[in-house]
Amino acid sequence: MQSSRGQLPKPPTQIRSGSGSDDPAPPGKVPLVSIIVPTLNNRSTIPRCLASVLTQTHPSIELIVVDGGSTDGTTELLPKSAIKLIRPGLRRSSARRLGAEHAQGDFLLFLDSDQAANPHLVEDCLRVAIGREVSAVKIPEELEGDGIWIRCERIESALWAQSDDLTYPRFFSRSAYLEIGEHRAGLEEYLEDRDLYLRLRSRGLESEWSPSVIVHILGHLNPWDVGSKGAKTARDSPAYYRENQESLMAVIRPRLLQLFSSKAILFRDPIALFVLPVYLLVSQGPKLLVVLGSK
């Protein structure tokens, strides 16, 4: 990893530029942070997501919710203070991009509607971005749910979190996000975060870790849930490899290395480890089939 999640530097007395980019806010100004939440039929989780946004300790927050045409009453739960953008048919990456286009913030945080932020998350991300002069901040995730499939996903998530190449930022200075070209249209739900991260690194812009976490609210997963998610994201996989000119093996290799080099994580839950190959086949199989079939 590029950094540890250790003690943060003291807050700077003024806002400074990150990685050579323009100042995100004038000296002495409290930075405005725009939190962009794409959603589609997430009535069960979005109240907790929005509550976590509205209770942030940072005093200057702008909430933007981009809804892709919910039919379950999700939009009825949005607070009056939120900027609401209703765009039926809009998928996640395009929703994030649209939200960023309407944002006024000096910094942008992309939060999914099935996630809840630690109350100090924005404050901590700002301290990292400003105090360490980086353009983006990675945020660790905790998975919340029960059942054997959740336990397998926890193993997978813990493995990927050990590699800097498999973890991607969610918090950006506005100037850096615009410089790297925003979320790419057409890469909606497959490695769109990796695509953005590769462009960040290609510009020589740096990222660090936040000490605060995001809770990913998963509930109870079954094989159908895992397979449906894999099939949904698979349709964007050929576009990713075409746009980035990156081989399938370049994406798989670091995952295989982590899988076989992190025995402590693998054996943390022996029962889930036994089911893990089936989980990986169900979750990743559709993507591999689509990519190989497009060659």
Model confidence pLDDT, tens digit, residues 39-61: 999 999 999 999 999 999 999 99
pTM: 0.85
C-alpha triplet 48, 54, 58: angle, nearest 5°: 130
Do the domain assignments include residue 243? yes
Do the domain assignments include residue 4? no
The Cα 128–Cα 134 span in angstroms is 7
The structural domain count of the chain equals: 1
**How high is the pLDDT of residue 24?**
56
Range of the domain at 69: 33-293
Do the domain assignments include residue 131? yes
Do the domain assignments include residue 20? no
The Cα 112–Cα 199 span in angstroms is 21
CATH number of the CATH domain containing 275: 3.90.550.10
Count how many Cα atoms sit within 13 Å of the Cα of residue 86 in the half-sphere of its side chain. 9
* Structure-block tokens of residue 42: 């997430």
Do the domain assignments include residue 71? yes
pLDDT under 70: residue ranges of the chain: 1-28, 190, 245, 247-249, 291-295
Do the domain assignments include residue 40? yes
**How high is the pLDDT of residue 163?**
81
Do the domain assignments include residue 78? yes
107-110 and 83-86 strand pairing: unpaired
Do the domain assignments include residue 232? yes
